[in-house]
Amino acid sequence: MPHLSAGYNLARWLARDGHDAEDIVQDACMRALKYIDSLNRSEARAWFLTIVRHAFYDWCERNRPAEIAHDDGSALEAAVDHNAIDPEQSAVRRAESKVLADAVAELPLAFREVLILREMEELSYKEIARIADIPIGTVMSRLARARALLQGSPRLRAIGERTSGGDR
């Protein structure tokens, strides 16, 4: 059952907890059964991941409303700028030699989900855009920032300026 694992992996990374991920996937399966008629078979994995993602956000609203509240656009910018754009701080982060998996888990939700879908599920920008319900351009900028965050790279400043509208 390859798709069940794909769904669980996504839920596990989004919720950052095994038990919660199980609840979410179970809920997603329930929905999948209900909406089976809307399944376009060619895209079964993307379809199921979309449902898992919805299930996660609904679950999050009930159980961790604070996490979503932070994830509107402006808060996202602020969170990133504050955390990582300072080169000195990224040096500190590197010095802590944080395990990469922890760094992924700490990415803001909106970045984490596109990164997981791209690097672990190897989905195309188009598929990710559909699953996360965002334009392809947003997929690209979020991916770039997610990666830059993980690299603690000075490039982040450039990307940050670019996506927040500054013409260079």
Partner 1 sequence: MNCDHAQPLIDAYADGELDALRRLFVEKHLRTCARCAEQHAELLALRRRLRAEAPYFAAPAALTERVRAMVASTPAARPARASRVTEPLRRLSGRVPPRWQWVSGGALGGCAATVLAFVVGTAVIDWQASQNMVAQAVSRHVQATLGDRLVAVVSSDQHTVKPWLSARLDYSPPVHDLASDGFPLLGGRLDTLGGRKVATLVYGYRKHTIDVFVQPDAFDMPSSKELRGFNVAHQRAAGWDWLAVSDAEPQVLDTCLAKLIHAATAH
If the CB atoms of residues 60 and 150 are measured against partner 1, the closer one turns out to be 150
Q: Contact, 6 vs 13, CB < 8 A?
A: no
Give Cβ neighbours of residue 13 (< 8 Å, ≥ 6 apart): 104, 105, 112, 113, 116, 120
- Burial (CB count <10 Å: 0-12, 13-18, 19+), residue 33: exposed
If the CB atoms of residues 60 and 152 are measured against partner 1, the closer one turns out to be 152
If the CB atoms of residues 66 and 102 are measured against partner 1, the closer one turns out to be 102
The span from the CA of 142 to the CA of 159, in Å, is: 10
Give CA separation, 140 vs 14, 73, 111, 136, in Å: 19, 15, 10, 6
- Residue 79 as a binder of partner 1 (CB under 8 A): the answer is no
If the CB atoms of residues 69 and 105 are measured against partner 1, the closer one turns out to be 105
The span from the CA of 14 to the CA of 12, in Å, is: 6
- Residue 164 as a binder of partner 1 (CB under 8 A): the answer is no
- Residue 59 as a binder of partner 1 (CB under 8 A): the answer is no
- Residue from the set 30, 68, 78, 91 that interacts with partner 1 by CB under 8 A: 30
**Residues 122, 116, 112, 132: is their CA dihedral positive or negative?**
positive
Minimal distance in Å, beta carbon 69 to partner 1? 26
Helix, strand, coil percentages (3-state) for the chain, rounded to 5, are 80, 0, 20
Minimal distance in Å, beta carbon 101 to partner 1? 5
Minimal distance in Å, beta carbon 135 to partner 1? 14
Q: Which stretch binds partner 1 (CB under 8 A): 55-63, 70-78, 80-88, 155-163?
A: 155-163
- Residue 43 as a binder of partner 1 (CB under 8 A): the answer is yes
Contact characters 86-105, partner 1, x per CB under 8 A: -------------xxx--x-
- Residue 7 as a binder of partner 1 (CB under 8 A): the answer is yes
